[in-house]
Structure formats: structure tokens, C-alpha cells
Chains A and B, each alone.
Chain A
Amino acid sequence: YQYILVTALYMLKPWERTIFNSILISVAGMAVYTGYVFM
């Protein structure tokens, strides 16, 4: 609840939240992967 309030996802429709969360997760995944490869 705090997460959707702070990021204002609270005001978005479910499908918009899904878009945002999938982008966030994919970017985080890419960052972890690239960080791992880089290390």
C-alpha cells in the first residue's frame, strides 16, 4: 500500500500498474545481470 502511494500507482488503473511494475522488474533484472557480468 505504501509503495503504490509513494509511486502514485494508487491513481493508475491495474493495467497501467502492470506496465509500470514489469518495466521496473525488467530494468532491475537487467541491472543485476549486467552488474553480475561486469563483476
Chain B
Amino acid sequence: MNSRGIWLSYLLGIGLLHVILLSIPFASVPVVWTLTNVIHNLCMYLLLHLVKGTPFETPDQSKARFCTYWEQMDYGVQFTASRKFLTITPIVLYILTSFYTKYDQDHFVVNTVSLMTVLIPKLPQLHGVR
């Protein structure tokens, strides 16, 4: 997550997801934003907080095998730039989504629950907690 261009690619990926959803003719703008938020948070939860280990062999005698991607990032050091970036992005997306759904209650509940699923595992107190 520190290599060059990965943050830009990630933001472009969110933008691309939103454009794809926006191009669904019968979907309204609030629904599209909520879908963007929920799909993004779902993918983030799966890739960063559910899948454990590495998709290739590592020379560390599989020490990383029981750690999620989020726990392996930056060798477990907390509050690094990448961690801050990956924590702030869902929050910004959530704020945008709330705005575009005109703070409708149903959307608000769905988006808030979805945001919590990606914010709570990022807390330093939950590092390595199962």
C-alpha cells in the first residue's frame, strides 16, 4: 500500500465503480451512491479484514498466514500514512453518500452500518483480535 500510484489507483477504482453504477438506467442517484458505498465497504472488508495470509509464498515461514492484510500492512505499525488514508477514504465516501441521499433515513441506516463494518476492524485496539 506504499508503492507508487496505488492510492491513485484505489481512488480511480472507486470512481470507476461509481460510474458503472451510475450508468444503470433505472437506478436513481441516491441508490447509486448507497450502492457505491456499500459495495466499496464490502470489498474493503473482504480484502482487508477477512482474507488471511498472502496469495503467494513468503519467506517468513508463513508467519503472516494468520494475519489479515490490514494487520500485515507496514509490518503491523499503527497510524502509518497508508492506514490513515484507508481509514479516511470510507468516511469521506460516507459523507458524500449521506449528502447525495439527502439524509434520507433508510439510506442513512444502511450506510452507517456499512461504514462501521470497515471502521471498527481498523481500530488499533482490535489489532490481532479475533
A interface list, Cβ under 8 A from B: 27, 30-31, 33-35, 37
B interface list, Cβ under 8 A from A: 19-20, 22-25
- Residue contact B20 to A37, C-beta cutoff 8 Å: no
Number of A-B contacts (CB under 8 A): 17
Residues in chain A near residue B24, CB distance under 8 A: 30, 34
- Residue contact A34 to B20, C-beta cutoff 8 Å: no
> What 8 additional pairs, Cβ within 8 angstroms, besides A27-B20, A33-B25?
A27-B23, A30-B23, A30-B25, A31-B20, A31-B23, A33-B23, A34-B24, A34-B25
Residues in chain A near residue B23, CB distance under 8 A: 27, 30-31, 33-35
**Alpha-carbon separation in the docked complex, A33 to B23 (Å):** 8
Residues in chain B near residue A30, CB distance under 8 A: 23-25
**Alpha-carbon separation in the docked complex, A25 to B20 (Å):** 11
Chain B min CB distance to A23 (Å): 9
Chain A min CB distance to B107 (Å): 21
| Leading 5 A-B pairs by shortest Cβ distance | A31-B23, A30-B23, A34-B23, A34-B25, A27-B20
**Alpha-carbon separation in the docked complex, A37 to B22 (Å):** 12
Residues in chain B near residue A34, CB distance under 8 A: 22-25
Chain B min CB distance to A33 (Å): 6
**Alpha-carbon separation in the docked complex, A34 to B23 (Å):** 5
The residue on A at minimum CB distance from B22 is A34
